[in-house]
Structure 1
């Protein structure tokens, strides 16, 4: 390490210029970045659920719905229906909207003068109470709209726009919002559906980035000043953080990626952890820059690298390894965050070893802040030093008691696993009262939901046997409590039969028994209706039919059971070609969140174990430092169970980050303890000396990480807030484990690697 330090000092100006130029270049690349708020694209395109969804869209067009929800005491009144009619007509002219469904666009199949008539579900604006009563009666008898685009209590109606595949959410939503403003009224109007949720995601992502980055940097600067009481201890680590952020975010467009919801966590992760190495370096600088010390600025810089280079490199590599193991996640943003986080942390690591000592060597020495004291057990010093002395006394006197206490806490944490749950509900991104969440709740409760699952049938759709099969499945599906509404050609066929027969007659509300009768039904329909009315249910040649099922539930554990139940119903049906849709993709996301979580977790532990073992040249060192990580992970998942925090596409990344960040404190404790034991001190004396030498740096580092993640509590996204809350809690747990559990294990187990002399250069 001394040779590295001397190299840095020799070429200090080249080092300084290089890092500043690199930061400027990478920061300039950020202007090319864009946001991706579509949660569905967070899964690879070759997953079966996404492949099926794409195939269905190619056959029947888009299934994504943007919904205008209109609420009032009674929507069946002239003023409200006129406004709804304007919305319905204008939405058809919006670029990107493929088809509109509303009470003015969906059809009512009825009998008039002994003939079948197909016209709009609402064909006139009511003027009298009798008109209102007539419209309500017709709507209540129309399965195509009742409970689907108008609620059963007539307080809510929706205008649904089915988007073309590839339509841009922002373009569509902007046009819809302008249209709503064009027709003001007294009714409550909300926007909903997946495209609107994605737009809200994108807006909140940008707001979070603009708000949380300055807040995080400000809080970190305040903390650093309180910790070091010197401005250099503030701006030097913060400069490394800024370099790391610019490098990671600038790498995003260079790699052809987009910012995702996880980018918020990435930035805060860098604010929280990229200064760790700088904190250790400056804490050491202050420890060496004591009153009466005649070291020059260059000599102090050399000491920083010489004394801390090895443990900093080791802790940096384990952090990078933990982040890179996020590539084990099937979720695309997880792997991307791991790579980008590793780039940022790598820059921070190299910058701390090169840029900080290079810059420190050309700056004048700071005034000494700490007092000289060669007695490691001295009670003199600031409050933190006294606290560390107290902890050292407790650890050396009661190591077995501490181990027993950790065992008890572990058992309590394990009990929380019984309440652990997995849920990727997209509405839970938003806090209560948010328009996107409010509209989702209304749509689910009153209008049958907007999360679709589609079953594609293939064959001669006019064959009565196949139509009856579709009808039977639709009836079974509607018995599932979480199913809100369904739409199929079989339902239209039965609606036609109601117009042709009177209630009580043999053919009423039934699929005909003969092929000719079915053909006649559709010929009669097309005489007054349109093929376009049926295009989302059957193709032009009547060879493929779509059963669309909308769920009034967004919680993916419930959806997962429903989707599995429906797939079980059709698994042996030779006419069923595909099953897919948003509901299927999100339940697939749940499955991959779990598998990715545990795969990345296992890989992280193995890789970190190998790196530590190689760094300390002892497998026992790896095992010793995995124990506190296992304790921290148990507490993480246990506390999530106790607090009711779901494992989802955001919180799934906590464990890998925890391993990469949490092991840092353990490495510094064990490394320093080994150095003191090799210097000839007994185990008790070594504990006191390690706290005296590196305790402040470890505590400052942990508190800095905690303060960094506190910023996430101010995010607009609920899962991000929960992520921040859990990381704040669990980093504190890692700190406690490092300063209590690890020294206690060292004292009780007395592993040989802590005493063996290893010569390294």
Structure 2
């Protein structure tokens, strides 16, 4: 008994209207596409109501923005006169940059000394450039005693120094980075000079996003066109699927500015996703058209197109809806661009599905009927892939238990790596270790205590000795942690000032016991120094103090360990004070849990939603469950391989499960749908499996290879997570294709699922597979 067929006559009746509507309507999206913008800001990728984000905003409200640019100078000895002169010139020139509000360098930070009369002397940390070896030794000793400079802007081994520019709120990355580069060019020298800070990172990310787009487009187009020509071997087999891809990309990309969104590192994968997935269903349609287009066929090209659409319409809709649903499950992702990517890709895939059901058959109906492909007429002339599918079908059906058992064993072996899976949220790790951004981060970690900062804001009466001592205790606690390379706090300054007016006695390196004594220290400093020197440590009315810790590791687990320790310590020892933990380190730490929780939620949601949609499409819950069996094995195997090969779960790779479930089930759906049709024609389980595999198998394999080649283009990306994402999609799609042409045929032939059994008794003559010699389906 035949299943209900898809209505298709309307496509021929309205063919020209359909073709014109799709082309003109799609091209209209080129208008907003011209206004697309790039946003490399990392904070904009995260929800504004995220606790760590709110804490950063609260801290910046009291202590100003955290935007800064750094010039890092490396030399054998930064105290060499020529090197100091270059550092001094860099410091002076950086101060002239319009977007730089203030400069912190060895020449602008201060040194606190006591005077014989018990007063305080505030001088530049480097009052003059030493001319003799004795002067250099004295300067070295002086800097080693200065906690404001030593380890902060001068490395502890004196092999590096940094000039830090605090930026104004209206500073633009491109202008700032260009101005800093001009400063460096104006002060040449033999030392190694690097630029650091978020403006430089964002500018590089922005440039690399543009570079990725320029790389992906030509590479993807060449790969897809070559593959379509190789696989479908007719001009229409190239033009129709590729046109659907291009139109889908134009529509989806045009939606970005229409929605008020911007292009970011995650969304740069959108054109590749649509290039890889946008022709999936059209390939099945064209492949089936070629199978029906035999020399003995008397029907016209339009009649063949109608028949093909009638047969494939419902499976295409079912597979397309599941892919769309998989992408929409990205709405549970913590990263905003990932949510946007899910919506945009869902729109693009939905457009491609509709186009495959209307535009593609309409074009086929209006084209002259093509000559039949020789390999589909005579099996002896079949190319390698078709012959391989036939051999595969016979092998699978003769070794059903071996195929199923081998698949389960390989899955268990691959999944064994799951305990080793780690999470990484540090954006510096988006780049390989040899990239300038990563090299600068490693240099800062090595010489200046770390490139990732964690800020702790303490609210209370800061000049109260009890409060100041608690701040000092927190500072000392942080210095004990092996992951912390440098700390700064107002408590350090108070201890330094107290020691200075006490003839430098070591026992005076403590917090005074009275509020009056602490107030007196600040008063003495203000008489000789600039009150703005402490603006990053304490606010004007001494109600808020900031403790900053630099983490000397790029590992997210190390950063999270420090953040968790701070939270535990402050809750235990500073419970009577209001403490706010912020900084990018806190954001990275909070993202770990958010990514893991979001991964579990999106995985469960997408799996359940896709299963129910498949069940609805087949009108059978059993069929929905059967359609998910390959993914039930592929998902744990994939995460296990990530753990085994050290591929971290990050903001990009965390999208994988939803996408994998959405598009990976397509191949199984097409196979099961054809298998059910064959069973309801009266064929036995093995014969139906054989016939289904040798018909839709060709489209499944070609479709899978197209997706694999499309996503392989991501290997050209400048961003490490994007390259890993492309690799993982390639592996997962390959696994899903193999499951559709090996595991599923063996399972259905072995277990004969009830949802596909015919309502009438099968014909006894069709109980065994036909010999390959009479098989002309492929």
Fold conserved between structures, TM > 0.5: yes
CA gap 1:357/1:84 in 2 versus in 1, 3 angstroms: same
The answer to whether 1:529 aligns with 2:529 is yes
Shift of 1:363: 2.1
| Whole-angstrom distance in 2 between the partners of 1:125 and 1:566 | 40
Q: Identify the range of structure 1 (311-320 vs 682-691) with the bigger mean alpha-carbon deviation.
A: 682-691
Matched residue of 1:32: which SS? coil
**2:185 alignment partner in structure 1:** 181
Matched residue of 2:580: which SS? strand
| Whole-angstrom distance in 1 between the partners of 2:159 and 2:720 | 30
**1:631 alignment partner in structure 2:** 633
| Whole-angstrom distance in 1 between the partners of 2:177 and 2:739 | 50
Shift of 1:209: 0.7
| Whole-angstrom distance in 1 between the partners of 2:168 and 2:68 | 10
1:413-424 correspondence to structure 2 within 5 Å: 413-424=414-425
Q: Identify the range of structure 1 (493-502 vs 522-531) with the bigger mean alpha-carbon deviation.
A: 493-502
Q: Identify the range of structure 1 (16-25 vs 358-367) with the bigger mean alpha-carbon deviation.
A: 358-367
Q: RMSD of the alignment, in Å?
A: 1.7
How many residues matched? 754
1:551-630 correspondence to structure 2 within 5 Å: 551-572=551-572, 573=574, 574-630=576-632
Matched residue of 2:87: which SS? helix
1:184-195 correspondence to structure 2 within 5 Å: 184-195=188-199
The answer to whether 1:398 aligns with 2:377 is no
| Whole-angstrom distance in 2 between the partners of 1:372 and 1:90 | 74
| Whole-angstrom distance in 2 between the partners of 1:144 and 1:684 | 79
Q: Equivalent of 1:150, from 151, 154, 178?
A: 154
**1:62 alignment partner in structure 2:** 65
1:668-687 correspondence to structure 2 within 5 Å: 668-687=670-689
Shift of 1:371: 4.5
CA gap 1:225/1:247 in 2 versus in 1, 3 angstroms: same
Matched residue of 1:603: which SS? helix
**1:50 alignment partner in structure 2:** 53
| Whole-angstrom distance in 2 between the partners of 1:639 and 1:71 | 40
Q: Equivalent of 1:283, from 279, 287, 306?
A: 287
Give deviations 1:552-587, integer Å, cap 9, x for gaps: 112111111110001111014222331111100111
Shift of 1:523: 0.8
Contact in 1 for aligned 2:227/2:706 (Cα 8 Å): yes
| Whole-angstrom distance in 2 between the partners of 1:484 and 1:391 | 59
| Whole-angstrom distance in 2 between the partners of 1:711 and 1:424 | 24
1:477-516 correspondence to structure 2 within 5 Å: 477-504=478-505, 506=507, 508-516=508-516
Shift of 1:651: 0.5
Shift of 1:372: 5.3
Segments of structure 1 that go 5 or more residues without pairing to the other structure are none
| Whole-angstrom distance in 1 between the partners of 2:168 and 2:358 | 53
Q: Equivalent of 2:261, from 257, 260, 263?
A: 257
Q: Identify the range of structure 1 (662-671 vs 618-627) with the bigger mean alpha-carbon deviation.
A: 618-627
| Whole-angstrom distance in 2 between the partners of 1:4 and 1:670 | 21
| Whole-angstrom distance in 2 between the partners of 1:725 and 1:571 | 43
Contact in 1 for aligned 2:376/2:382 (Cα 8 Å): no
Matched residue of 2:732: which SS? helix
Query: What is the TM-score normalised by the length of structure 2?
Result: 0.94
Give deviations 1:141-164, integer Å, cap 9, x for gaps: 111111111111111111112334
| Whole-angstrom distance in 2 between the partners of 1:59 and 1:531 | 16
**1:316 alignment partner in structure 2:** 320
| Whole-angstrom distance in 2 between the partners of 1:78 and 1:112 | 28
| Whole-angstrom distance in 1 between the partners of 2:104 and 2:193 | 17
**2:17 alignment partner in structure 1:** 14
Segments of structure 2 that go 5 or more residues without pairing to the other structure are 761-778
Contact in 2 for aligned 1:61/1:164 (Cα 8 Å): no
The answer to whether 1:543 aligns with 2:543 is yes
The answer to whether 1:109 aligns with 2:112 is yes
**2:666 alignment partner in structure 1:** 664
Shift of 1:355: 0.9
Contact in 1 for aligned 2:6/2:313 (Cα 8 Å): no
Give deviations 1:595-627, integer Å, cap 9, x for gaps: 111111111011101101111111111111111
Matched residue of 2:295: which SS? coil
Q: Identify the range of structure 1 (365-374 vs 342-351) with the bigger mean alpha-carbon deviation.
A: 365-374
The answer to whether 1:451 aligns with 2:452 is yes
| Whole-angstrom distance in 1 between the partners of 2:414 and 2:38 | 38
Matched residue of 1:122: which SS? coil
The answer to whether 1:138 aligns with 2:138 is no
